[in-house]
């Protein structure tokens, strides 16, 4: 009877040990996936922050018309599209965008319009 009891306790301890190891591996996998997702969200937030900062610089500037220039950011690379009144306005918009922290490149796709 004592041997059966000892065997049952030993089997229970072994099963518990296996379950804990499985839970530890699963927890590690979940942690890795969560960290990866967090990094992805961080990148998106960074791009949104850059876009907002560029638009705020345009809005605060009297030379650039913020309403006519669209700002898109992908991995720190800013693309400006829309209409400007003159080449000087386009150049100034590019300079303002480049001055924002986190901007890697600025691609101007601005058209000059006399309207």
pLDDT digits (tens, 9 = 90+) for 19-52: 666 666 665 565 565 556 555 555 555 999 999 9
Q: Is the confidence at residue 5, as pLDDT, over 70?
A: no
Strands annotated E in 1-115: 69-74, 77-84, 105-112
The predicted model scores a pTM of: 0.62
Q: What is the pLDDT of residue 26?
A: 62
Q: Is the confidence at residue 107, as pLDDT, over 70?
A: yes
Where do the domains of the chain lie? 2-112
* C-alpha atoms less than 13 angstroms from C-alpha of 98 in its C-beta half-sphere: 10
pLDDT digits (tens, 9 = 90+) for 71-97: 999 999 999 999 999 999 999 999 999
Q: 3.10.20, 3.30.300, 2.60.120, 3.30.70: which CATH number matches 2-112?
A: 3.30.300
What would the two tokens of residue 77 be? 């690379």
Beta bridge partners, 70, equal 81
Q: What is the pLDDT of residue 114?
A: 76
Dist. CA 46–CA 16, nearest whole Å: 44
Q: Are 102 and 75 in contact (CB under 8 A)?
A: no
């Amino acid at each position: 009877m004592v041997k059966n009891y000892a065997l049952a306790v030993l089997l229970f301890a072994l099963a518990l040990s296996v379950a804990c190891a499985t839970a530890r591996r699963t927890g590690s996998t979940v942690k890795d996936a969560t960290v990866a997702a967090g990094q992805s969200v961080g990148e998106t937030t960074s791009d949104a922050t850059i876009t907002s900062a560029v638009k705020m610089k345009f809005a605060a500037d009297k030379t650039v018309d913020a309403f006519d220039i669209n700002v898109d950011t992908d991995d720190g690379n800013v693309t400006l599209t829309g209409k400007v009144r003159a080449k000087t306005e386009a150049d100034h918009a590019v300079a303002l965008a480049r001055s924002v922290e986190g901007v890697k490149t600025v691609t101007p796709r601005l058209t000059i319009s006399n309207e």
